[in-house]
Amino acid sequence: MGCISSKQSKHTPGYEDPVLLASQTSFTVSEVEALYDLFKKLSFSIIKDGLIHKEEFQLALFRNSSKKNLFADRIFSLFDAKRNGAIGFGDFVRALSVFHPSTPVYEKAAFAFRLYDLRHTGSIERVELKEMVLALLSESELELSEDIVEAIVDNTFKQADLNGDGKIDEDEWKEFVTQNPAILKNMTLPYLLDITMTFPSFVMYSETNDTDIII
């Protein structure tokens, strides 16, 4: 009994078996084990309770626990699958797996759709797209004029809103990213193939055209 208790005390709340997580994600068992070391480091960086809270998530992403950014809020929300304000180990691995190079494109597309569906209506509206574009530009430290931002939104809806109802549903989104695969380029983090103790950055800095959507 004592041995079991001692072993359990070494794990954070919400710990899940690496073998199980490897079977559910694109990671190998050894990669999941490496991620657990990273998870423990992050989950004890501020609050120290074995869960990743928003402040710790933002500290890892932006080196600033108090920075306000819609992009960070949306990413945290999608990682926080249980909607309890904190990320457990299993949810951390499953969400991070979306960014693995081996993860199917349709899973990346679905994650990106939920990222932009700010109001959880099952579709992306113009105002939601614009808000996210502005947030991503801000995080990437890119400054574009209002006209260019509007052009990004207009161009996206021109291509993606196939039925012309003023919003992009999930089927339209899938078709849009199929025709424009570069849109999902930042949904893949190559270095997840060689996991280190550095938290992945979800904002990839690369040369983009002014009318590209940054995801």
| Predicted local confidence at residue 122, as pLDDT | 97
Q: Residue 199: what pLDDT?
A: 55
| Segment 66-105, tens digit of pLDDT | 667 788 889 999 999 999 999 999 999 999 999 999 999 9
Q: What is the pLDDT of residue 66?
A: 62
- pLDDT per position as a tens digit, 13-45: 879 999 999 999 999 999 999 999 989 999 999
Mean pLDDT to the nearest integer, 51-56: 92
- Who has greater pLDDT, 123 or 203? 123
Q: Alpha-carbon distance 126 to 152, whole Å? A: 11
Per-residue model confidence (pLDDT) at position 210: 43
Instruction: State how far the Cα of 175 lies from the Cα of 90, in Å rounded to an integer.
Output: 31
Query: Which comes out higher in pLDDT, residue 184 or 204?
Result: 184
Helices 29-43 + 89-97 axis angle, to 10: 120
Taking the C-alpha atoms of residue 175 and residue 181, their distance in angstroms, rounded to an integer, is 10
- Minimum mean pLDDT among 11-25, 101-115, 130-144, 170-184: which range? 130-144
User: pLDDT-based confidence at 5, cuts 50/70/90?
Assistant: very low
Whole-number Å distance between alpha carbons of 89 and 95 = 10
Query: pLDDT digits over 181-199, tens only?
Result: 998 988 888 888 777 545 5
Query: In the prediction, which pLDDT does 63 show?
Result: 66
